Chains A and B, each alone.
Chain A
Amino acid sequence: MYTKKVPILLAALVFWLSPGLALAQSGSERLAIIQSKCQVAHDNLDLLRRRDLVARTNRGREYENIVKQLEAFTQRVRHNRLDAGRLGTTTQQFKIAVDQFRDAYLRYDDSLSELLQTDCRTKPDVFALKLEESRVLRAETAVSATRAEELALNYRELVATLAGPNINGAAQ
């Protein structure tokens, strides 16, 4: 019975270790790729940073325009003595979301800056780690941009329901 159990245990041990071994092997392969393609990666990172800067600038401007539009309409609703509570709340939430987007982008841009300053030929492991950090922060920037758009759409829906028979004095 003992002799039967040993091969089973050995097989189980190999099966349990093999993902880790595969990971270690693929990790070292990846580091080798990072080292060999360091300059290409740096060039692509620089291009990406520039592209993201343009996206950030264009989004930032558009968000500012939307904030002005929402604030003006909310003020007009209040002036007309209609219930602007939810409109005002949604406008404030949108402004907070825009600030969060800006902060998220700053953190992401800082991480990209550190990544670009890392020498991936001599420190591919550090580069790989910082790359993962940048990916997480880029995803967070995307989430905050989506959140801002969702809030803007909420406001749109409120205005759309405000239109029609509810206009001309009826409170929401």
Chain B
Amino acid sequence: MSQPQTVISWIRRYIRRRRLPVALFLAIAASLILTGVSVSIYSLGGFSRFDLSRPDYEKERNQLSTAPPQKTYDVTSPIDQRAADEFLSEFDGRLNDLHAYGNFRDGGLSDEELQLVDAVPGSLQ
């Protein structure tokens, strides 16, 4: 018998004698590998940057809009004035919400906002 075959038969005998410990070991190894893969995807894929459940982001979590319940739309009924009005009413509500959110136009990176300006002589700063 060649050496690889000896090793394989030894492994088989070992597994047959210790089935439960081997099964537990394989289960733990598989879960560790899968956890490693998902954590890698989380950090390397950039998803972590959007995760507001991280510690130290409580204030930002409170500023998130509350997610409304999942809505299903009627896609088969006839379209009449009432349907159009309902659409426009809901749409206008969403547009108002959008306007309330930041639009990246507030000069957030200006020198004044970052306080990269010299103090005016005589002013308190």
A→B interface (CB under 8 Å): 29-30, 33-34, 37, 40-41, 44-45, 48, 50-59, 61-62, 65-66, 68-69, 72-73, 75-77, 79-80, 82, 106, 108-109, 113, 131, 134-135, 138-139, 141-142, 145-146, 149, 152-153, 156, 159-160, 162-164, 167-168
Contact = CB atoms under 8 A, between A and B. Distances in A.
A163 B87 CA distance: 11
Contacts, number: 139
**B-side binding surface: helix, strand, loop or mixed?**
loop
A77 B79 contact: yes
Interface of B: 46, 49-50, 52, 57, 59-60, 63-65, 67-68, 71, 73-81, 83-85, 87-88, 90-92, 94-95, 97-98, 101-105, 108-109, 113-118
A167 B87 CA distance: 14
B8 to A, nearest CB: 49
A146 B95 CA distance: 12
Nearest to A152: B95
A44 B114 contact: yes
A63 to B, nearest CB: 8
Contacts of A62: 65, 94, 97-98, 101
Given A55-B102, A57-B50, A59-B101, A76 B77 contact: yes
A55 B94 contact: no
Given A55-B104, A65-B94, A66-B94, A138 B79 contact: no
**A-side binding surface: helix, strand, loop or mixed?**
helix
22 contacts: A41-B114, A44-B115, A45-B114, A48-B113, A50-B60, A53-B50, A54-B64, A55-B102, A55-B104, A56-B50, A58-B64, A61-B65, A75-B75, A76-B74, A76-B79, A79-B75, A138-B109, A152-B91, A156-B92, A160-B84, A162-B84, A163-B85
Given A37-B115, A37-B116, A69-B87, A138 B95 contact: no
Contacts of B101: 55, 58-59, 62
B65 A58 contact: yes
A53 B52 contact: yes
Contacts of B98: 59, 62, 149
A41 B116 contact: yes
Given A44-B115, A76-B74, A156 B91 contact: yes
A159 B88 contact: yes
A75 B79 CA distance: 11
